[in-house]
Amino acid sequence: MSSGPWWHGLAPAEVTVECSGAAHSVRWEHGRLCALAHPDVEGEQALSALAGDRPACLELLGLWSRHEEDPRVLVAASRGPGDPLVAWTGPPSRWVGFAPLQGAPASRARARVRSLARTGPRLVAPGPPQRRTAEEPDPLVDLANLAGPLFDYLAGAVAAVWAERLLAGDDRVPPHAAALDTALFGRVLMAVRAWTGDPALEVTVETAGVGDPPSISREDDRVVAVLPFSWLSRVWARGLAVVLGHFVLAISEDAAGVLRLDAAGSLGTRTVITIDVGAAAAG
Amino acid sequence: MGEPGDPERYLRMLGERALLEAEDSGPFSGPLDRAAAALVAVGALSEQLAGSVVADYGLACALRGRRRAWAWPRGAGAVVPVPFAPARVLPGPIALTVQGWEMTVRWVRFGDDQTELAVSGRRAAGRPRRSRTPSTGPPPSLQVADDRGTSATCHFSGGHGDGDFSGTFATATPLSADTAWLDVSGQRVELPVASTPRAEVRVEPLPARPAGLGYLWHELAVSDSRFHRPGGETSAALDALVAVGAVDADDPEVKALVQVGAALQGGTGARINAPPGLPEPWAAFLGQGSPAASGADGVTGVASAGVVAGPVDGAYVGIDAIEAQPHGFSVEVVVSPGTALRARFEGVSGRAIEWWAKDDLGVLRLGHVGDSGGSRGKMRGTVEFTPGLDAEARMLHIMPTGRTERAVVSVVLPWADAPSAAQDP
């Protein structure tokens, strides 16, 4: 048994981007974001750098890649089904400031990225120029407003990056330890409350050390969950935190794509659930 | 990973719980902001890190369609205080009638960026009305010109209703501070020759205090929650400082602070039995009982001050004028950086100014900021104090107070026959 890629089993997702005067698809699949209308991304990036006008599809890819390791994504993103984000078309009082200047190519491209609504893939023309402030907008707003589950997928990718770094003892982890702990806490809290059906349940989350077994138990009037940070990418990001009324503590996977879920049916009991998602395609 | 007593972890967990448990802090600074400011104040977190955490959770709130505490934009950076010249203030009263409105100009302030006229008035009796219902509209804008040929339109800002109004008319561009007269909507008003304000300024250090308790008393003095949202902010700061070990929850002074905070809810006019062991100036403030002019029998008048003090813990403070009314008095101030004027605007720096005032009869007052406006760099505002000034008071010491030092601006009250010997506040 192995762990397999964190994204294995997640459905592909697409957004439509107004790019170079046409409607282009940007697709997330196998853990990667691809601009389908731009097969030679590196070549086009070089050309666009010279021309000073970056296609909106590449702008989105660049924005995505700049945040694939950003722990702030875990603060902004949803903690699960009970924590939906809303489409935010502004003007946001403190991050406004996104104001494409007429004739500024990069800003135009960014405006098009921003125009992707969470409500579903659709083509939206950039609005009229807004008041420009001295403050740079927070680019996470653009990513959070992406249609469908893309921002959730980005959160999964961020969690996977930091889980690997934790496992490797990477010295980039300690400065972000508090942020990572909190990211795990919020998602476990929401999942446990959904699992138990008690929205006010007190939950203590302890981040398990490498090699420590995961567990969930009741102590007095609260639930104590001991889970590794990798639970976020391995379990939660795949939408498998609660399966068939069970709280999933860990997942292992064989080469044929059978997921073996180590789950708690109730506090104090453990069971195994298997799901066949097929072999993982090459990422 | 993170340690349980780790300040950053504490702050993030507070933000996480507030986010997931749908606490809406509203437009004023919320528990996360106040906890962050407290942790910065005691050196448990850097201002940059605390500000980032607050900003990140602010973004998360906004992405969920929730209001959040107002704050300056992420990455707005620190504001450098800029010294400025004192404003010239001419006391009134000046009587005018403009477009059927009887107006009394209480004072005129010539600032370096605008000119303000503080005016009260009413619709003139006998003015024909088109409607039988009382007018609730604001007074008309004024056209004001100086003797240098500068003319500006002044728009009203303030309260009005049932034919009365009180507020200020401000120009968008400054008029000459040396003008001998003003033309107000066609009526020429000769300005009195301004007497030199009798005010002295000094800045002095405050006695050293434990950082945690010192900050909590400071926050109690500057917090808007005294007036708008009882309880939350000081509690958030106290909880944070206890969590990181900066304050002992069992300290008798903490219990006294909580008691004072509860008693102050609703305004500064409250009087309680002062618990023992209070630090100054709280012991004096709460121990003075009911002042003589506790009702609405204070003296009326305007005293110009025209001084700038500072820097006081990094802020320049201009005291322009004092306007005494029967129920209290207000002090017109200018502060740079502007973020030091209002606690709810200052982010997580914990550098808002406390406003104390003591007259030469020994009555100590704690003020709060009323109207204000301006920019991050410089704001002007009105600090309001109660109760009113006793007619026997001859001098007022206004004390803009930071966390480590304070300014003492001693202003001779011009309606007094003669100043008494200056006494330290």
Q: What is the dihedral of CA B16, B17, B21, B23, to 10 degrees?
A: -90
How confident is residue A249, by pLDDT bands cut at 50, 70 and 90? very high
Per-residue pLDDT reduced to its tens digit, A99-109: 222 223 333 33
Identify the H or E element spanning B263: helix B252-264
Closest residue by Cα to residue B1 from A163, A100, A154: A163
The answer to the question of residue A228 being in a domain is no
Highest mean pLDDT among A179-193, B44-58, B275-289, B291-305: A179-193
- The CATH topology of domain B88-190 is Immunoglobulin-like (2.60.40)
Per-residue pLDDT reduced to its tens digit, B26-36: 544 578 888 99
Q: For residue B410, what are the CA distances in angstroms to B200, B202, B425?
A: 5, 9, 9
Looking at the structure of chain A, the number of domains it has is 1
What distance in Å separates residue B347's CA from the closest CA in chain A?
Answer: 13
Cβ–Cβ below 8 Å for B20 and A186: yes
Contacts of A87 (CB under 8 A, 6+ apart): A117, A118, A119, A145
Highest mean pLDDT among A95-99, A267-271, B308-312: B308-312
Identify the H or E element spanning B51: helix B47-62
Whether residue B348 contacts residue B37, with contact meaning beta carbons closer than 8 Å, is answered with yes
Q: What is the CA radius of gyration of chain B?
A: 23
What distance in Å separates residue A189's CA from the closest CA in chain B?
Answer: 9
Nearest to B20 among A83, A135, A177 (CB): A83
What distance in Å separates residue A185's CA from the closest CA in chain B?
Answer: 8
Q: Which residues of B touch A (CB under 8 A)?
A: 1-2, 6, 8-9, 12-13, 15-16, 19-20, 55-60, 62-65, 70-76
Predicted local distance difference test score (pLDDT) of residue B396:
96
Angle in degrees, 0-180, between the axes of helices A177-196 and A150-168, rounded to the nearest 10:
120
How confident is residue A145, by pLDDT bands cut at 50, 70 and 90? confident
On the question of pLDDT at B397 being above 60, the answer is yes
How confident is residue B126, by pLDDT bands cut at 50, 70 and 90? low
Read off the tokens for B285. Answer: 């403030």
Cβ–Cβ below 8 Å for A178 and B19: no
Disruptive mutation site among B59, B70, B72 for chain A (greatest number of A CBs within 10 Å)? B59
Q: For residue A188, what are the CA distances in angstroms to A150, A204, B228, B282?
A: 21, 9, 35, 45
C-alpha neighbours within 13 Å on the C-beta side of residue B123 = 15
Report the C-alpha gap between B298 and B291 in whole angstroms.
11
Strands, sheet with A13-19, edge to edge from the N-terminal-most edge strand: A13-19, A22-29, A32-35
Bigger pLDDT: B154 vs A130 = B154
How confident is residue B395, by pLDDT bands cut at 50, 70 and 90? very high
Q: Sort out which chain A residues have CB atoms less than 8 A from B12's CB and list them.
A: 178-179, 181-182
Per-residue pLDDT reduced to its tens digit, B189-240: 888 776 676 789 999 999 998 999 999 999 889 876 554 444 445 688 999 9
What distance in Å separates residue A37's CA from the closest CA in chain B?
Answer: 30
Q: Sort out which chain B residues have CB atoms less than 8 A from A144's CB and list them.
A: 63
Strands, sheet with A242-243, edge to edge from the N-terminal-most edge strand: A242-243, A246-253, A258-264, A271-276
Predicted local distance difference test score (pLDDT) of residue A105:
33
Nearest to A86 among B59, B64, B72 (CB): B64
* Average pLDDT of every residue of chain A: 80
Highest mean pLDDT among B13-22, B50-59, B324-333: B324-333
Closest residue by Cα to residue A107 from A142, A148, A78, A64: A142
Q: Sort out which chain A residues have CB atoms less than 8 A from B20's CB and list them.
A: 79, 83, 186, 189-190
Read off the tokens for B113. Answer: 């960026």
On the question of pLDDT at B267 being above 60, the answer is no
Read off the tokens for A60. Answer: 């989105």
B170-199: buried (b, 16+ CB within 10 Å) or exposed (e) per residue? bbeebbebebeebbbbeeebebeebeebeb
Q: Could you give the 3-state DSSP secondary structure of residue B366?
A: strand
Predicted local distance difference test score (pLDDT) of residue B335:
94
On the question of pLDDT at B415 being above 50, the answer is yes
Stretch A201-213: mean pLDDT: 92
Predicted local distance difference test score (pLDDT) of residue B131:
47
On the question of pLDDT at A94 being above 50, the answer is no
Q: DSSP letter string over B212-250? A: HHHHHHHHHHH-GGGTSSTTHHHHHHHHHHHHTTSS-TT
On the question of pLDDT at A198 being above 90, the answer is yes
Cβ–Cβ below 8 Å for A94 and B72: yes
Per-residue pLDDT reduced to its tens digit, B60-108: 988 888 765 444 444 455 678 889 988 888 888 889 888 888 999 999 9
Predicted local distance difference test score (pLDDT) of residue A100:
24
Q: Sort out which chain B residues have CB atoms less than 8 A from A208's CB and list them.
A: none
Strands, sheet with B142-145, edge to edge from the N-terminal-most edge strand: B88-98, B101-110, B115-123, B164-170, B151-161, B142-145, B181-184, B187-190
What distance in Å separates residue A187's CA from the closest CA in chain B?
Answer: 10
Whether residue A204 contacts residue A225, with contact meaning beta carbons closer than 8 Å, is answered with yes
The answer to the question of residue A63 being in a domain is yes
| Structural domain containing residue A79 | 13-151
Cβ–Cβ below 8 Å for A207 and B1: yes
Q: Sort out which chain B residues have CB atoms less than 8 A from A79's CB and list them.
A: 20
User: Percent of chain B, pLDDT > 90?
Assistant: 39
How confident is residue A255, by pLDDT bands cut at 50, 70 and 90? confident
Nearest to A136 among B12, B65, B75 (CB): B75
Per-residue pLDDT reduced to its tens digit, B294-348: 566 889 999 989 899 989 999 999 999 999 999 999 999 999 988 888 766 666 7
On the question of pLDDT at A153 being above 80, the answer is yes
Nearest CA in chain B to A203: B17
ipTM comes to 0.84
Chains A and B: how many Cβ contacts under 8 Å? 86
Predicted local distance difference test score (pLDDT) of residue B4:
55
Q: For residue B145, what are the CA distances in angstroms to A59, A107, B109, B113, B190?
A: 54, 45, 14, 15, 12
Predicted local distance difference test score (pLDDT) of residue B258:
84
Q: For residue B293, what are the CA distances in angstroms to A195, B172, B189?
A: 63, 38, 34
* Average pLDDT of every residue of chain B: 83
Q: DSSP letter string over A252-272? A: EE-TT-EEEEEEESSTT--EE
Predicted local distance difference test score (pLDDT) of residue B231:
47
What distance in Å separates residue B8's CA from the closest CA in chain A?
Answer: 6
Read off the tokens for B231. Answer: 């309880």
Cβ–Cβ below 8 Å for B1 and A182: no
Nearest to B16 among A95, A135, A182 (CB): A182
Whether residue A232 contacts residue A159, with contact meaning beta carbons closer than 8 Å, is answered with yes
Per-residue pLDDT reduced to its tens digit, B363-389: 999 998 988 888 778 888 999 998 999
User: What is the residue extent of each domain of chain B?
Assistant: 88-190, 196-425
On the question of pLDDT at A21 being above 80, the answer is yes
Whether residue B71 contacts residue B347, with contact meaning beta carbons closer than 8 Å, is answered with yes
The answer to the question of residue A222 being in a domain is no
Stretch B398-404: mean pLDDT: 95
What distance in Å separates residue B373's CA from the closest CA in chain A?
Answer: 18
Q: Sort out which chain A residues have CB atoms less than 8 A from B55's CB and list them.
A: 94
